């Protein structure tokens, strides 16, 4: 009779063949029992029925069956990173928050960026608001600054939050569409809620298509309070500004990236940190003294309004650097629990009714998602400072408490833990009085002036993109009456805007403006004012094949790397390519596994054989056409210029054989100064886009 254990070991050897296991880390059960076979269940004979007593199988499968926890209702898809925050100078004049006092102290942080509407399995590049949440692990406890990449929100009162989210999510009858607002129920809701108008202008703008997490702004959205040691309060709004500037994808790029690389932004964050290109953000504040609360023509507690920087400047107070990727996505990025109610002494709340609702909702959400009030014990959520209380038991209680008391007051435990007599969080003693009413403050009643301010502040290109976005979004709405209501709503923002949108969605244009455009603008609201002319962190595709001119490739690649640009050689197959003189270059991507939408610029080095090979590949010509269509920097040297001529790009001259720069297309047919070519190319990459080309793109 065959020995069952011998049969199992034979099967294991045959299935794993030459696979070697490091003897230093043996596989065990959760109880620590060493496992010798994890490929076959325990059976009676071979073949034969499996045995119920197979405890390793039971443990492995029951754990697997419970690996998923409820995903976040909103902000389900995200990416995160560890880092630190360092204040520039003491803010003791305004707040007693300890982490905002000493410029020599680096406060650990974890930042999570996310999309709002889609599920965990949706794509990164969809048109959507982005979450921007930061947990500060301070010596006084955890402080969570939970915001978005847009400074305002859809609604004024938290009681309408379920309504707005229900309308954004896939429609209940068919669960379509995923991660998109381009559907009837969303625009039906929006067209009936005037307070959403300002937010909709931002939603339709380029702000909802960020190039990367490291190139988007963040905002606390709400008005909070700072309180100093003397008990004096002031109002504060928080701003995150990326050091690399604020940039967006083109909508066509975003749609294609959803298929080519749905993890585009998460991958960019991960790779940037791994390569040492750490994302950096400045934290800024707008300070409003209590006595100035009512000096504006809007209510600063209205979350559908922002405070223009022309009225209250943003003061930079410190910098956040993200320099370490998570060790485990689930344990850290997925299980981190943010809540606006997590504050430290010196930071307090305002009466913003949307904020007041979030103070309850976020904590309640974590109780549901993570399954226990002990979610704060998870490593990613634990404070770095000591913490003691009498809370007891429950799921996930990992603290082994040895005291015999779990109540206060007590004498058997020496009266500990006890409330402090010298310090502690003290809520600002704001005086409040009034009747219990379900009403909206009259000061929240105006909904269109800031939407108009935003429209007036955009550049011509940004306005064009907003109108195109409205054509796409509302073009997906079958209900004529909803489209008509939205045009009427936009007519209250700007008459020309309403007419341009109506033109593309089959709705009669309004003949008269509903309101007169006030003509005011705020340059800080345009992304163009937030551009930083640097090529650092950009990605460049180098198109090449066997026979490439080694000197041209090497010199340009070296110059790009020195400027902080990541380069990748793209060819037909992976492996290596050889220059005409036999030098080998590693291929990073193929034309099948990449696309122009995944890069910020394109370079084509010379080499007769290389260029002839590329000419014969239709994917290469499409690669160049698409980069040109999206107004990106393009460089070509030597015979590479001939490849540009094979493409469909228009409006570019090919006159000077030595060196020319025409709208971000740098060409040197007979390159005598590769250094100058590289210099011009780096400058062009730093420009991000050359929108003058947009009208010179061939019909697709």
Of 529, 556, 589, which closes a domain?
A: 529
Q: Is 148 a catalytic residue?
A: yes
CATH number of 52's domain: 4.10.91.20
- pLDDT band at residue 403 under the 50/70/90 scheme: confident
pLDDT at 9 over 50: no
Q: Which of 571, 565, 621, 618 is nearest to 593 (CA)?
A: 571
Tokens matching residue 596: 């122009």
Q: Are residues 9 and 92 in the same domain?
A: no
Per-residue pLDDT tens over the stretch 310-346? 999 999 999 999 999 999 999 999 999 999 999 999 9
The pLDDT of residue 139: 95
Total domains in the chain come to: 4
Domain-located, residue 409 = no
Tokens matching residue 50: 């499996």
> Taking the chain, what is the end-to-end CA distance rounded to the nearest angstrom?
73
Other CB atoms within a 10 A radius of the CB of residue 148 amount to 24
Cα-to-chain-centroid distance, residue 542? 27
Dist. CA 483–CA 487, nearest whole Å: 6
The pLDDT of residue 99: 98
Of 361, 377, 393, which closes a domain?
A: 377
Triad 623, 677, 528: Cα angle to 5°: 70
Q: Are residues 516 and 595 in the same domain?
A: no
Q: Are residues 517 and 547 in the same domain?
A: no
- pLDDT band at residue 696 under the 50/70/90 scheme: very low
Provide mean pLDDT across the span 169-190: 96
CATH number of 481's domain: 1.20.1370.20
Element (H, E) at 113: strand 107-115
Provide mean pLDDT across the span 577-588: 96
Domain-located, residue 118 = yes
Domain-located, residue 655 = yes
Residues of the binding site for heme: 72, 112, 161, 358, 362, 369
Other CB atoms within a 10 A radius of the CB of residue 633 amount to 28
Tokens matching residue 380: 């990613």
Q: Are residues 226 and 358 in the same domain?
A: yes
Q: Return the percentage of the chain with pLDDT > 90, whole number.
A: 82
pLDDT at 162 over 70: yes
Instruction: Select the more confidently predicted residue: 51 or 244.
Output: 244
β partners of residue 668: 637
Q: Are residues 107 and 147 in the same domain?
A: yes
Q: Which of 115, 160, 138, 132 is nearest to 221 (CA)?
A: 132
Q: Is 427 a catalytic residue?
A: no
Q: Are residues 606 and 639 in the same domain?
A: yes
Domain extent, residue 462, equals: 449-529
Q: Return the percentage of the chain with pLDDT > 70, whole number.
A: 96
Other CB atoms within a 10 A radius of the CB of residue 533 amount to 10
Dist. CA 229–CA 312, nearest whole Å: 24
Q: Are residues 507 and 640 in the same domain?
A: no
Q: Are residues 32 and 129 in the same domain?
A: no
Per-residue pLDDT tens over the stretch 524-581? 999 999 999 999 999 999 999 999 999 999 999 999 999 999 999 999 999 999 998 9
Mean pLDDT score across all residues of the chain: 93
In a 3-state reduction of DSSP, which class is residue 475?
helix
Per-residue pLDDT tens over the stretch 305-319? 999 999 999 999 999
Per-residue pLDDT tens over the stretch 667-689? 999 888 999 999 999 999 999 99
The pLDDT of residue 395: 87
Own/partner long-range contacts of 440-447 (Cβ < 8 Å, ≥24 apart):
440/156, 440/157, 441/299, 441/301, 443/298, 443/299, 443/302, 444/156, 444/195, 444/299, 444/302, 444/304, 446/298, 447/194, 447/195, 447/197, 447/198, 447/304
Sign of CA pseudo-dihedral 575, 576, 577, 578: negative
Provide mean pLDDT across the span 298-303: 98
Q: Strands 633-637 and 665-668, how do they pair? A: parallel
Least confident of 214-228, 267-281, 357-371, 383-397: 383-397
CB neighbour burial string for 398-432, b if at least 16 within 10 angstroms, e if fewer: eeeeeeebeeeebeebeeebeeeeeeeeeeeeeee
- pLDDT band at residue 1 under the 50/70/90 scheme: very low
Dist. CA 267–CA 125, nearest whole Å: 12
Domain-located, residue 476 = yes
- pLDDT band at residue 645 under the 50/70/90 scheme: confident
DSSP summary character for residue 499: H
Provide mean pLDDT across the span 8-23: 46
Rounded CA Rg of the chain: 29
Domain-located, residue 146 = yes
pLDDT at 186 over 80: yes
Catalytic residue, from 75, 183, 239, 465: name it. 75
CB neighbour burial string for 98-118, b if at least 16 within 10 angstroms, e if fewer: bbbeeeeeebebbbbbbbbbb
Domain-located, residue 163 = no
Q: Which of 318, 320, 327, 216 is nearest to 270 (CA)?
A: 327
CB 317 within 8 A of CB 85: no
Domain-located, residue 558 = yes
The pLDDT of residue 380: 97
- pLDDT band at residue 8 under the 50/70/90 scheme: very low
Burial of 44 (C-beta count, 10 Å sphere; 0-12/13-18/19+)? exposed
Per-residue pLDDT tens over the stretch 234-283? 999 999 999 999 999 999 999 999 999 999 999 999 999 999 999 999 99
CB 552 within 8 A of CB 674: yes
Q: Are residues 133 and 246 in the same domain?
A: yes
Q: Are residues 140 and 252 in the same domain?
A: yes
CATH number of 659's domain: 3.40.50.880
pLDDT at 700 over 80: no
Catalytic residue, from 148, 277, 342, 381: name it. 148
Domain-located, residue 39 = yes
Tokens matching residue 411: 């004498």
Q: Are residues 490 and 507 in the same domain?
A: yes
Q: Are residues 514 and 552 in the same domain?
A: no
- Looking up tokens 């610029």 gives 601
CB 190 within 8 A of CB 181: no
In 427-567, alpha helices (H): 449-457, 460-475, 480-491, 495-504, 550-562
Residues of the binding site: 72, 112, 161, 358, 362, 369
pTM of the complete model: 0.93
Of 322, 356, 377, which closes a domain?
A: 377
């Amino acid at each position: 009779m065959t020995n069952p254990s011998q049969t199992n070991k034979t099967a294991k050897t045959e299935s794993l063949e030459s696979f070697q296991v490091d003897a230093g880390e043996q596989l065990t059960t959760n109880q620590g029992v060493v496992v010798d076979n994890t490929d076959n269940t325990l059976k009676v004979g071979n073949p034969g029925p499996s045995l119920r007593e197979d405890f390793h199988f039971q443990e492995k499968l029951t754990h697997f069956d419970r690996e998923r926890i409820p995903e976040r209702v909103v902000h389900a898809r995200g990416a995160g990173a560890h880092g630190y925050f360092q204040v520039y100078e003491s803010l003791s004049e305004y707040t007693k928050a300890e982490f905002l006092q000493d410029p020599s102290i680096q406060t650990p942080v974890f930042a999570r960026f996310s999309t709002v509407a889609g599920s965990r399995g949706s794509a990164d590049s969809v048109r959507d608001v982005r979450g921007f949440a930061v947990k500060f692990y301070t010596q006084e406890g955890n402080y969570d600054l939970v915001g978005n990449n847009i400074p305002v929100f859809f609604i004024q009162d938290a009681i309408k939050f379920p309504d707005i989210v229900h309308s954004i999510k896939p429609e209940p009858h068919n669960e379509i569409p995923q991660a998109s607002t381009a559907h009837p129920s969303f625009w039906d809701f929006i067209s009936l809620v005037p307070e959403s108008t300002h937010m909709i202008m931002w939603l339709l703008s380029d702000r909802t298509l960020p190039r990367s997490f490291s190139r988007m702004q963040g905002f606390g959205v709400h008005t909070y309070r700072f309180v100093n040691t003397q008990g004096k309060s002031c109002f504060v709004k928080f701003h995150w500004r990326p050091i690399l500037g604020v940039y967006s994808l083109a909508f066509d790029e975003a749609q294609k990236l959803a298929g080519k690389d749905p993890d585009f932004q998460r991958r960019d964050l991960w790779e940037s940190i791994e390569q040492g290109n750490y994302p950096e953000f400045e934290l800024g504040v707008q300070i409003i003294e209590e006595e100035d609360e009512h000096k504006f023509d809007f209510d600063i507690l209205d979350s559908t309004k922002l405070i223009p920087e022309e009225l209250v400047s943003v003061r930079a107070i410190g910098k956040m650097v993200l320099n370490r990727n998570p060790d485990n996505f689930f344990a850290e990025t997925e299980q981190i629990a943010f809540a606006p109610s997590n504050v430290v002494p010196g930071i307090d709340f305002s009466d913003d009714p949307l904020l007041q609702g979030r103070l309850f909702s976020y904590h309640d959400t974590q109780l549901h998602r993570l399954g226990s009030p002990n979610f704060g014990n998870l490593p990613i959520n634990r404070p770095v400072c000591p913490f003691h209380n009498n809370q007891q038991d429950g799921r996930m209680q990992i603290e082994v408490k040895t005291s015999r008391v779990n109540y206060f007051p007590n004498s058997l435990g020496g009266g500990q833990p006890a409330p402090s007599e010298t310090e502690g969080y003290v809520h600002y003693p704001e005086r409040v009085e009034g009747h219990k009413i379900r009403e909206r403050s009259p000061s929240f009643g105006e909904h269109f002036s800031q939407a108009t301010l935003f429209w007036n502040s955009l550049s011509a290109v940004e306005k064009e993109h907003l109108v195109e976005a409205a054509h796409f979004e509302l073009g997906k709405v079958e209900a004529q009456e909803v489209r008509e209501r939205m045009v009427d709503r936009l007519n209250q923002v700007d008459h020309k805007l309403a007419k341009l949108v109506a033109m593309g969605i089959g709705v009669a244009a309004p003949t008269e403006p509903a309101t007169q455009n006030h003509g005011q603008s705020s340059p800080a609201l345009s992304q163009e004012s937030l551009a930083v002319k640097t090529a650092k962190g950009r990605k460049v595709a180098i198109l090449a094949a066997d026979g490439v001119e080694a000197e041209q490739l090497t010199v340009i690649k070296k110059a790009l790397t020195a400027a902080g640009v990541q380069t990748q050689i793209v060819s037909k197959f992976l492996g290596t390519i050889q220059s005409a003189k036999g030098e080998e270059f590693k291929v990073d991507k193929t034309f099948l596994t990449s696309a122009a939408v995944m890069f910020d610029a394109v370079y084509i080095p010379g080499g007769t054989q290389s260029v002839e090979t590329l000419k014969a590949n239709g994917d290469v010509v499409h690669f160049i056409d698409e980069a040109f269509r999206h107004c990106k920097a393009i460089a070509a040297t030597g015979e590479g210029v001939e490849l540009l001529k094979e493409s469909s790009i228009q409006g570019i001259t090919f006159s000077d054989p030595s060196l020319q720069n025409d709208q971000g297309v740098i060409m040197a047919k007979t390159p005598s100064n590769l250094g100058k070519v590289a210099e011009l190319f780096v400058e062009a990459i730093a420009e991000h886009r050359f929108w003058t080309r947009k009208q010179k793109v061939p019909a697709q």
